Amino acid sequence: MTKPTPYRIGIDLGGTKIEVVLLDGDHHTILRERTPTPRQGANLYAAILDATVGLAKHALAQVPGGESTIGIGIPGIIDPVRGRVINANATSLIDKAFRADIAQRLDRPVAMENDADCFTLAESLAGAGKGYAMVFGIIMGTGVGGGLCFNNQIFRGRHGIAGEWGHIAVVPDGRPCFCGNRGCVETLLSGTGMAAAYQRAHGRPLAAEAIVAGARQGDADCRIIFDNFLEDFGRCVGGIISLLDPHVIILGGGLSNIDELYDTGAERARRYAFHPDPQTPIVKNQLGDSAGVYGAAWIGI
């Protein structure tokens, strides 16, 4: 007799919200809720831990018999040797045994992966990456992340950092990055990066959204900043194509809504790739905001 397919709980820990889904054995969503991510307080880590465990327990309470896998996506990486969080832009998580602490509080094992990896896995299994063997997922939002899937499985690499192209340092005297380097891809291709480029050139702040809108309306200052952004996108994504030659590149995060990335940006990326006529599709995600939390559910143990 085959074992019934288990229920799956996925939790996506983001900078502004923590989201949970509960899927039944047929992958139907039977619960989906979110709570704000604690952002202040004397013990921020304890507050994030409490909020995450609280959502997991709430979902577990809906599962008949209480048997479910649990997977969690985090804005960081679990060091495979020490089991502690590294590379988190949510710095209160850094060096914490977040996975072990949650497993202990829930008294059951939990899987934990980088949120960009969860995004890439979800898009590989059920989104824009379906049918492609090697999928490179890009998150462009407040930061820049990336993930790599082969045959619907997350490829982690030796240190768990495979796909972290956002911290390739490409401008020697560029803006300082939270990772300690200067001029990382993240300082160019994030929303804050585009805004900072405008501030530097014109001495006053303007949000990325307003820059894009201004460029479309013909504002000369905005057009220069936006064109440089698309050029940086082309150069950096062209490098990914040359390095890995993925079958598809999928964009997610707030900036993935910029339509010009899929024509001008994609054309430039293919021009920068080391091939006379690369065919790499550079496409928008299909699962939208849901990719991270469903990817988390599908990594569950």
List the one residue from 97, 179, 224, 244 that touches Zn ion (CB under 5 A). 179
177 belongs to the binding site for Zn ion (CB under 5 A) = yes
How many helices (H) and strands (E) are present in the chain, helices listed first? 9, 12
- Kindly tell me which of 155 and 178 has the beta carbon lying closer to Zn ion: 178
Pick the closest to residue 210 from 123, 219, 201 (CA basis).
219
Chain residues 250-269 in contact with Zn ion, contact rule CB under 5 A: none
- Stretch of 25-33, 174-182, 227-235, 289-297 contacting Zn ion, by CB under 5 A: 174-182
- Residue 241 corresponds to which tokens in the numbers above? 């194509």
Chain residues 78-97 in contact with Zn ion, contact rule CB under 5 A: none
* Site string (112-151) toward Zn ion, x via CB under 5 A: ----------------------------------------
Phi, psi of 77 (to 5 degrees): -135, 145
* Contact in structure between 277 and 271 (CB atoms under 8 Å): no
Report how far residue 52's alpha carbon sits from residue 12's, in angstroms, rounded to the nearest whole number. Answer: 9
* Contact in structure between 210 and 191 (CB atoms under 8 Å): no
Angle between helix 191-202 and 220-244 (nearest 10): 140
- Kindly tell me which of 68 and 87 has the beta carbon lying closer to Zn ion: 87
184 belongs to the binding site for Zn ion (CB under 5 A) = yes
- Kindly tell me which of 58 and 175 has the beta carbon lying closer to Zn ion: 175
100 belongs to the binding site for Zn ion (CB under 5 A) = no
Can you give the binding site for Zn ion, defined by CB under 5 A?
A: 167, 177, 179, 181, 184
